[in-house]
Structure 1
Amino acid sequence: MSTSLTAAPPRPASLDAVLAYAWSTGEFTATDALEATGLTRSTTIDAMDALARLGLLEELPNARQAGEYRKGRPARRFSLRADAAVLVGVDAGNVHITATVTDLRAQQLATRRTTLVMDRDDPAARARIIAAAVDDALTDAGRSRDDVLAICVGVPAPVNAAGRSPDHPRGFGERMNPGLSDTFAWAPIVRIDNDASLAAVAEGAVGAAVGCRDYIALLAGVRLGAGVVVDGNVLRGAHGGVGEMVAFEHVDGVGTADGLGARMAAWAAAAVADGAASPDGTLAAIAAGEPDPRAVLELAAAGDSAAMAIVDRVGAVLARIVSVLGSMFDPQRVVVSGAISEGIEAVVVAARRSLPTDLDLPAPELVVSQLGADVVVTGAVSAAAAAARLGALDVWMARDPT
């Protein structure tokens, strides 16, 4: 993660404590805050007033003004100013770009989606398209760059702690992450990260891994990618390479880093070509042109024997992938995430049947994500929100040190 902040002046720890509490709750009183933070009443009230002056808290009408009549002096009520700034999450995929703008509570304000024309794709043009998608989403939300507190962008490439992607023999990393830390340097808080890692953030925040401290989010559509969480921490590695799946090119029974969707499409075409499926059947029609993996899954669900064979074959590959990941990272759970998760249950059921029972460690639980194609942008928003919580006071006090 990178920031464009100047050093903020020292401040009382009570400001951080009260702001953290405000971010985690709805409206509250000084009594609520002091009970949650352990601060004294006077310190709590001073912190609440200071945060209100900064514009991070808003004072609400008191109980009498709100119609909740009580005896005695009504308590002052405060709340986080969710509209004080905005967050931006971006899924900058190989072909599809999604940019979402939210308020500080991660409530969506606007989303823009863009499809890249790949034969015209180059690093500089790609950076401009991603930046334009963000600006368009901000416009749709009625906000501007000046309103952004934190932005997080997910890319399909390794990303190190500085937000940079290592050199790639074919230039893939540099093209997928064309200096995006610099592109978005206008934002106070910037995080560029691997898309599978952000999928893992999403699954842990609002998805199939809530409450789980050891899990893997497996993006498995066109290419394999894994976001790995161990002891509650997303693993990165020296160059951001944890979760890169090229090693599966050397694993018997897997053979490539192609995703499950890509395999289904290729094997559907092969089944027609080698006569395993009737050239006049539905699978042949699906396999013509650009085969759709979801159509193969739907055909298998309808009982087509050739499609069912493909599902079983893909399930066996998934089982081998899960077994290897299980032996490497010892996760409690593996979540099949991304657009391919919609309708993939039959493959997961087949994979569960194929999981070996003689592993040195218990096999991970294999589940399907419910977050669909927006899992990466959901994780990007969650990551931007987490960074905003940590850095908001630094930003505000650098702007207004008084």
Structure 2
Amino acid sequence: MWRGVAAMDVVVDQISLRRYNLSAVLRHLCGAGPRSRARIATDLGLNKATVSSLVAELGERGLVLAGDVERGQVGRPGQVVEVDGRVCGLGLQLGVDHVAAYVLDLRGEMVSSHHRRLDIQDLGPAGTLAMLAELIGSIVGGAAQDGRHIAGVGVGVPGLVESAAGSLRIGANLGWRDTRVVDELVTLLGNPEYPIHLDNDANLAAIAERATGCAVGAGNLIYLTGDVGIGGGVIVDGRVLRGADGFAGEVGHMTLAGDGRLCGCGRKGCWETVAGMPALLREIADPGSPIADPAMELQERLAEIRRRAELGDARTLRGLDAIGTGIGLGASVLVNIFNPQVLVLGGFFSVLGDLLMPAIQGQLSGQVVSESLSQCRVERSAFPFTAAARGGAHVVLESVLADPTRVPPGLARAGGSR
């Protein structure tokens, strides 16, 4: 019996080592660019036969392909190996009135993007998830027709998310509670082969900004959504801060005004009631004003706000100053607590960032411990309204990089090259 267990341990160790080496080769090609097999072996300290075997398996899984002959190297030139762009991640971002979808390939290039307006309050959870499933199925099917493979789906939603269970515990601004998002999507999609991952939208947005946005490589950052509500994605030492129950980052519900307005969460004076989009509209427009009409497209609304500000409209300028002050007040608390390298403003905070920044910086300068502020730069998001969708795609691709065997074999190109 003991000999059998020992033999099994050896097999498991060999499988784990194989996966580790497959991951190492694939990550190296993603980071360093095309390389010959001999050069990969030298770079990673592996023997050439092992690298040839690893490259062959990665090619069979559609993750790498043979490219041109390597130039400028001493000795016999070898054919380079490069990352194939056919394996992709699909990310979706669900907002209060829209859904955005983004497909990224393993090379980090955008394959496609999609945007739809949704009346989520009218559709409810069942109708909304049916629309999401239809969109996912359409994108996955279209990718397959183009010869691409969707390795998974990452979905970002605002609210308290139990990622392991795939559930949205509380989505105050969506009006959802205890919604088993992943289970419902899996059922609607007919138990697809690809996995579906659910996360808080701000967490995914923070991942996107760190991967390819305005905070590339930052080990410590805070991402703030700017929408109907305010969410926060916090990365500490390179990892998303999740907390004991996975609910860390619900910064929009910090109480900044104890006797303030009623929030969708049921409490009064939450940060998002002070600095969210409804607060901005209350400051700059009377009830019934066209700019406050829910039917108005967000981009059109933001363009009109900017137009008024640039014309010097006094009420608009006062409103922007009030919202910037509110943003800065809450942000200063977070900067003092987490001491980030970068504070990223997302959503409408980013789009109107130049108009909001003086008030934000004024609050930060007055409220943040000087040493913390000197080490933190404030940036406007590179992807104001698609960061979470991009982050969802990045999460999928990271799972492939961590374990290339997640992608099934049989995806090799005919001939093994471009």
Displacement after TM superposition at 1:58 (Å): 1.9
1:191-240 deviations in whole A, cap 9, x for unaligned? 21110111101111122211321111100221110111111111122333
Match of 1:228 in 2: 234
Match of 1:362 in 2: 372
**Counterpart pick for 1:30 among 37, 46, 49:** 37
Displacement after TM superposition at 1:142 (Å): 4.7
1:154-196 deviations in whole A, cap 9, x for unaligned? 1112222404335449762435946457456524443211101
Letter paired with 2:151 = L
Distance between the aligned counterparts of 1:220 and 1:204, measured in 2?
18
Match of 2:91 in 1: 89
Distance between the aligned counterparts of 1:71 and 1:232, measured in 2?
38
Match of 2:354 in 1: 345
Distance between the aligned counterparts of 1:233 and 1:72, measured in 2?
43
Displacement after TM superposition at 1:321 (Å): 0.9
Q: 1:373-392 residue pairs with structure 2 within 5 A?
A: 373-392=385-404
Identity %: 24
Identify if the C-alpha distance between structure 1 residues 383 and 346 changes in structure 2 by more than 3 Å, giving closer, same or farther.
same
Q: 1:90-169 residue pairs with structure 2 within 5 A?
A: 90-143=92-145, 147-165=149-167, 167-168=169-170
Distance between the aligned counterparts of 1:303 and 1:253, measured in 2?
32
**Counterpart pick for 1:265 among 271, 274, 281:** 281
1:84-105 deviations in whole A, cap 9, x for unaligned? x332111122221122233322
Residue 324 (1) aligns with residue 338 (2): no
Letter paired with 1:131 = A
Q: Would you say the 8 A contact 1:300–1:308 is kept in 2? A: yes
Distance between the aligned counterparts of 1:345 and 1:176, measured in 2?
39
Match of 1:279 in 2: none
Give the RMSD, CA atoms, in angstroms.
Answer: 3.4
Gaps of 5+ in 1: 1-6, 274-283
Match of 1:396 in 2: 408
Distance between the aligned counterparts of 2:147 and 2:197, measured in 1?
16
Secondary structure of 1:241's counterpart equals: coil
Secondary structure of 2:89's counterpart equals: strand
Q: 1:63-82 residue pairs with structure 2 within 5 A?
A: 73-82=76-85
Letter paired with 2:46 = L
Q: Would you say the 8 A contact 1:124–1:178 is kept in 2? A: no
Secondary structure of 2:255's counterpart equals: helix
Match of 2:59 in 1: 52
Distance between the aligned counterparts of 1:288 and 1:209, measured in 2?
33
Q: TM-score, normalised by structure 1?
A: 0.81
Displacement after TM superposition at 1:289 (Å): 4.1
Displacement after TM superposition at 1:395 (Å): 3.9
Match of 1:172 in 2: 176
Distance between the aligned counterparts of 2:16 and 2:88, measured in 1?
25
Displacement after TM superposition at 1:312 (Å): 1.3
Letter paired with 2:97 = V
Identify if the C-alpha distance between structure 1 residues 312 and 120 changes in structure 2 by more than 3 Å, giving closer, same or farther.
closer
Match of 1:20 in 2: 27
Letter paired with 2:178 = E
Q: TM-score, normalised by structure 2?
A: 0.78
Secondary structure of 2:167's counterpart equals: coil
Q: Would you say the 8 A contact 1:126–1:178 is kept in 2? A: no
Give the aligned length: 377
Distance between the aligned counterparts of 2:79 and 2:379, measured in 1?
46
Displacement after TM superposition at 1:298 (Å): 2.8
Q: Would you say the 8 A contact 1:159–1:194 is kept in 2? A: yes
